[in-house]
Amino acid sequence: MPIKKSFVAVAFSAVSAISVMAATAVQEQPTPYDLIRPVYPLTWDTTVFDHYDTTVTQKHNMVPKNRTPASYVPNALIPDTLNQAYLDAINYRMSPIRINQAGYLESDPEKQFYYVGTATEFEVVDIDGKSLSPKVTGTFTSSGFQTSSDWTIIAGTNAATNDQKRYQVDITGQSGIIQVGHIPGTVPTETRLRIKVGNDISSTFIVSNRVYSMVKSAALKFYGINRSGDGDSWFHPASHMKDGAGAEVTGAADVRDQYNAALAGTLQGGYYDCGDHLKESQTQMYAFMVAAVLAATNADADEDNYAFNHGETVNTDGMPDMLREAKHGADYVLRAYIRAKGVIDDMALSVGNFGSDHGWWGRPENSDKLPVDGSAAATDRGGPMSRTVRLGEIGANIGGETAAGLALVGKLYSEYP
């Protein structure tokens, strides 16, 4: 059901003066996120690839020739672009110790973790697996519950082909009684630690009153990956800058023979959906609204650790990070509003056709390079011609989220130049 135009119009007027901030050069220094960012294990098992089944595909060289990644150093930060085969290799040996990798607050009364096995004692060790001084130990309590585990990893390749698998890995995990451990309150804070049980060592964790800031920082980095348009993403260049030139459709209609170059860029920006490059009203407006609500309700915790580009942590922009993220969502909504000439029902908060978008299995910035001449390459791989402008996708829930996000950003952003 369409929402009342007057309800959203108030929110639009509140942020009509929002301006775009300039990007800065990228310089990195540690942020709270780095204390919970995944690191390499203490040892690398080169035999894991022996268990990779590559007979599931006709493709060749699906497993890296180098069985140890070139970037491997014990406890080094895992690169964001690490080959998935290496990541799966890390996960192959399923640990019997299940720790909260996001960390624990210093004030948490029970810093609980779980262990599957017969051991009765554990030790808290440093990031290198060495004993603390003084040594910190504890004992397990049986939960009384039995468990077993197994899982299968199926790695994919190009979704546009019939031969979509890369490799398959079948894994048998731990089985036995679930034991409960409690991390003593005497452990060091603000540093990575591990749990050691016999010869098994857990992933790292941290005890800090800034744990939630660390998690927020990680969420922001994900927002940055999913930015579309000229969003100064730390992960990819400007992408889908021609959005708005495709055919206007209602629903999922697949129209690929219309392209209006004069409208190219009128709908650049916003956020990608869920691993593809569609922009969906339901998901991107929810993400926008959540960022705005967090900026409003947790202003004291909304730190300025980044510039707009999350790779820049030295020359920050002087603005709370979550608020600046919400501003990116507001910018897209305003573009849609301007293009619709103020008619809410004509706003396009969704862009892209499902089939053709899922035919593009590559980086988002390269999709704009596909031709716009009506050729097959232009129309079936998610390029500019098949980036349909979808109308009629603002119901009560999406409209309410949009209006709430705009109103909050308009009020909060007015305090900054």
H-helix or E-strand containing 408?
A: helix 396-413
Binned at pLDDT 50, 70 and 90, residue 290 comes out as very high
Give the pLDDT score at 10: 35
Residues whose CB is less than 8 angstroms from the CB of residue 250 and which lie 6 or more positions away in sequence, other chains included: 390, 391, 392
The dihedral sign for the CA sequence 344, 349, 355, 356: positive
Neighbours of 167 (CB within 10 A): 23
Alpha-carbon distance of 78 to 188, in angstroms, equals 24
Nearest C-alpha neighbor of 325 from the set 338, 311, 339, 306: 306
* Residue 234 Ramachandran class (φ > 0 left, ψ -120 to 50 alpha, else beta): alpha
Alpha-carbon distance of 184 to 71, in angstroms, equals 34
| % of the chain residues with pLDDT over 90 | 70
Alpha-carbon distance of 213 to 237, in angstroms, equals 27
Give the pLDDT score at 72: 98
Taking residues 289-294, report their average pLDDT.
97
Give the residue carrying structure tokens 């709430």. Answer: 404
Tens of pLDDT, residue by residue over 31-90, are 778 888 899 999 999 999 999 999 999 989 999 999 999 999 999 999 988 999 999 999
H-helix or E-strand containing 181?
A: strand 165-182
Taking residues 294-320, report their average pLDDT.
92
Say yes or no to pLDDT of 5 above 50: no
Say yes or no to pLDDT of 6 above 50: no
The least confident of 141-155, 157-171, 384-398 is 157-171
Say yes or no to pLDDT of 22 above 50: no
Alpha-carbon distance of 337 to 211, in angstroms, equals 38
Based on the number of CB atoms within 10 Å of its own CB, is 216 exposed (0-12), middle (13-18) or buried (19 or more)?
A: buried
The least confident of 126-135, 155-164, 283-292 is 155-164
Contact 74, 130 (CB under 8 A): no
Give the pLDDT score at 85: 96
Say yes or no to pLDDT of 393 above 50: yes
* Residue 194 Ramachandran class (φ > 0 left, ψ -120 to 50 alpha, else beta): beta
Give the residue carrying structure tokens 């390499």. Answer: 40
Give the pLDDT score at 8: 41
Alpha-carbon distance of 185 to 203, in angstroms, equals 19
Tens of pLDDT, residue by residue over 193-252, are 999 999 999 999 999 998 888 888 889 999 999 999 999 999 999 999 999 999 999 877
More confident residue, 79 or 275: 79
Alpha-carbon distance of 72 to 79, in angstroms, equals 10
Q: Which residues pair with 246 in a beta bridge?
A: 259
Output Rg (C-alpha) for the chain, integer angstroms.
25
Alpha-carbon distance of 403 to 330, in angstroms, equals 10
The least confident of 132-146, 251-265, 384-398, 402-416 is 251-265
Question: Could you give the residue range(s) of every CATH 2.60.40.10 domain in the chain?
Answer: 42-205
Alpha-carbon distance of 269 to 14, in angstroms, equals 20
- The architecture in CATH of the region 42-205 reads Sandwich (2.60)
Give the pLDDT score at 268: 98
Neighbours of 376 (CB within 10 A): 9
Nearest C-alpha neighbor of 102 from the set 239, 217, 197: 217
Backbone angles phi, psi at 62, to 5 degrees: -80, -15
Taking residues 156-162, report their average pLDDT.
69
Give the pLDDT score at 243: 97
Written as six digits, the tokens of 115 are 């262990």
Alpha-carbon distance of 238 to 364, in angstroms, equals 8
Q: Which residues pair with 178 in a beta bridge?
A: 116
Alpha-carbon distance of 383 to 200, in angstroms, equals 49
Give the torsion through C-alpha atoms of 82, 216, 239, 331, to 10 deg: 180
Give the pLDDT score at 213: 84
Give the pLDDT score at 274: 85
Give the pLDDT score at 212: 85
